[in-house]
Amino acid sequence: MQDTGFRHYGFNTRLAAGFADNQSLTIRYQQNEIDRVRAYKDLWGGLGRLRSDFEPQDLKFFYGRYEKQGLGFIDTLTGTFSINSQSDGSIRQGLNATDRTIRDESRVDSFGYLIQATTHLTDRNATVFGAEIYDEHIAAYRDETDPQTQIPIVKRALYPNGSRYMTFGIFAQDTLEVVRNRLRATLGLRYTRVGFRTFAGRNLDQQGNSLGVIDTKRTFDDLTYNAGVSLQVNTFLTLHFLNGRGFRAPNLNDLGALGLNDLGFEVPAEAAAAAGAFAGLSDGEGVASTGRKVSELRAERLFNYEFGATIRLKRLYLRSQIFDSELKDPIVRRTMLFPAGQAPAMLANVSVTPIPQTPVQAAQKMTGVATSLDPRAVKAFINEGQAKYYGIDNSIRLLITDRLSIEGNHSFLVGRELNPNRFIRRLPPQQGFISLRFQPRSRSPIDWIELSGNISGSQERLSGGDITDERIGAARRRRDIADFFQGTLARSFISPGTDGILGSADDLFRPTNETLSQIRDRVLPVGSTINGVKILDDNTRVPLYTSTGAFASINLRAGMTISENVRLNVGLMNLLDRNYRVHGSGIDAPGLNFHFGLRYSF
């Protein structure tokens, strides 16, 4: 498919050294880069933008670890230092050649420091404790270029330039064998403190004017725990129970992101609150207001409960785990709404305009706003309500003979927002994997042959945001069809109609030999009901899909040794040549396809 290819290259190296009998040093460096990456969902597969490139995309990671054993009452003492530098960016242009080109570049340099020790009081006890710091420095830049003047103008970046995000934690965990070879208990505690700072003086344009970032300082902290009990019922059956309390502070994207994202243009909650925004019922389009004003972000909290059983026999391993997770004050994306007639002209220093009200918004006298960069309503991350996740995970490994084995896994996850009660965003469908692997005798050049299947159930539990997401529900309007038809990307497929004048109402789309009006009336005729939505006018959003279909993909793979230094992996994927789509991917999977990989070691 056009605009779906990319290039990926990188390398990594590792050095391990031992000193005396009780000291070791490990150093690792990794670098990866990806280029020529384009967002198909924004180009031919979506709105029809002229450009939507992800550039740059690179990672540089350094890791050093020193360990010493037998230091007094300390069994092992470990010190770790790491540098993780990631660069990310995009280049975007709207549907027309006259639209501005927006370039974003961000780099996060994270410096990590960890010290950890292990010890024991008796032969039935093991304790680990330590502290860690991750200090993140964020550099961000954005400019907009008018294609006529070709002069870049500095704008507020995706993240506040020069901001800092620091995570500090101290932790301790103890494992005790309460009854030898029978009952084991674990208890862990952790204190976490997160600090976030932005600096107005580091966010100025070429003339020294403010880009809308102010000096801010936010702090989040909490005490969390995890506890577990494992009971060896007999020689083959183990039961285990886990309980924990989690804590997640708002991250950099939650606190400061400004720009295009999955469901349109996003602004920080702080900017939306300052403008008097109200939270929408969901992150979908045309939604009603909750009646609650947007406020500063808070940390979200998780309470988790798990129960499982494991069976271990000579030729069989079987594990099953059920879980229930309660998420309090989850950080979620929501549509921003304003009282009709009081919508701001600027939001986070970006121009916005009111968009047509839906009947429910008109009844509440509320309206959404949009930027010139995306027709969908502006969104922000806020704390909203509660969420509940529960489900089951299963895995199996069966050794039929010494050379023939079966492996498989299955997962089923259910998620609900509780206030109001509705489907949660991006919920995966029920899915599983099973494989039959044969390993020939040692003299054979073939190391293994595997027949496998990837199986997925349908996903019909779509949220409002899922319906709008181009990769899931792909909701569109008659107006979107007109924008695509009249955009520069599709212009090479347009011919003048009977009047011979290009750019008039009778222009023809050559692949179907239809005018714009004919296409819109065929795809989304006014007055009709499609996928449960009645089309009232050009602004009614109608999903292309209301679910993701189930599928089963059968694959055949093999690995073989060519020589002492050379190994070859080959595979025939999707043997039945099925047309299917992985939930959330946005594209149909390849049909019958072949791949091979060659590995040379020295």
> Does position 601 have pLDDT exceeding 90, yes or no?
no
CA-CA distance, 250 to 329, in Å (whole number)?
A: 11
Q: Residues 214, 274: contact at Cβ < 8 Å? A: no
Q: Residues 337, 279: contact at Cβ < 8 Å? A: yes
Amino acid at 152: P
**Mean pLDDT calculated for residue range 304-331:** 97
User: Which pLDDT belongs to residue 244?
Assistant: 98
User: Which pLDDT belongs to residue 1?
Assistant: 74
Q: Which two tokens stand for residue 31?
A: 């670098």
For 8-22, 119-133, 136-150, which range has the lowest pLDDT when averaged over its residues? 8-22
Instruction: Label residue 586 by pLDDT band (50, 70, 90).
Output: confident
User: Which pLDDT belongs to residue 264?
Assistant: 84
CA-CA distance, 271 to 256, in Å (whole number)?
A: 9
Average pLDDT value for the chain: 94
User: Which pLDDT belongs to residue 486?
Assistant: 87
SS3 state of residue 41: helix
% pLDDT > 70, the chain: 100
**Mean pLDDT calculated for residue range 198-207:** 93
Structural domains for the chain: 1-232 (2.40.170.20), 234-387 (no CATH), 478-534 (no CATH)
Q: Which of 376, 297, 292, 303 is nearest to 332 (CA)?
A: 297
> Does position 391 have pLDDT exceeding 80, yes or no?
yes
Q: Which of 405, 387, 254 is nearest to 333 (CA)?
A: 254
% pLDDT > 90, the chain: 82
User: Which pLDDT belongs to residue 5?
Assistant: 86
CA-CA distance, 200 to 211, in Å (whole number)?
A: 8
The residue assigned the tokens 């924004």 is 42
Q: Residues 103, 260: contact at Cβ < 8 Å? A: no
> Does position 188 have pLDDT exceeding 90, yes or no?
yes
DSSP string over 253-279:
HHHH--EEETTEEE--HHHHHHTT-EE
Instruction: Label residue 520 by pLDDT band (50, 70, 90).
Output: very high
> Does position 61 have pLDDT exceeding 90, yes or no?
yes
Instruction: Label residue 263 by pLDDT band (50, 70, 90).
Output: confident
- Beta bridge partners of residue 131, listed in sequence order: 115, 170
Q: What size, in residues, is the chain?
A: 602
Instruction: Label residue 43 by pLDDT band (50, 70, 90).
Output: confident
**Mean pLDDT calculated for residue range 560-588:** 92
Q: Residues 319, 262: contact at Cβ < 8 Å? A: no
The pairing of strands 57-71 and 51-54 is: unpaired
User: Which pLDDT belongs to residue 48?
Assistant: 87
Host H or E run for residue 68: strand 57-71
The phi-psi region of residue 345 (left if phi > 0; otherwise alpha if psi is between -120 and 50; otherwise beta) is alpha
Give the dihedral of Cα atoms 418, 423, 428, 430; nearest 10 deg: 90
Residue 331, C-beta contacts closer than 8 angstroms, at least 6 positions apart: 248, 250, 254, 297, 300, 381, 382, 383
What is the per-residue pLDDT across 321-344, written as a single tens digit (0 to 9) for each? 999 999 999 999 999 999 999 999
Q: Residues 528, 458: contact at Cβ < 8 Å? A: no
Which ranges in 249-358 belong to alpha helices (H)? 252-256, 269-274
First to last CA, the chain: 37
For 108-117, 357-366, 435-444, which range has the lowest pLDDT when averaged over its residues? 435-444
User: Which pLDDT belongs to residue 600?
Assistant: 86
Q: Which of 260, 273, 271, 256 is nearest to 197 (CA)?
A: 256
Amino acid at 34: I
Instruction: Label residue 372 by pLDDT band (50, 70, 90).
Output: confident
pTM of the full predicted structure?
Answer: 0.86
User: Which pLDDT belongs to residue 41?
Assistant: 82
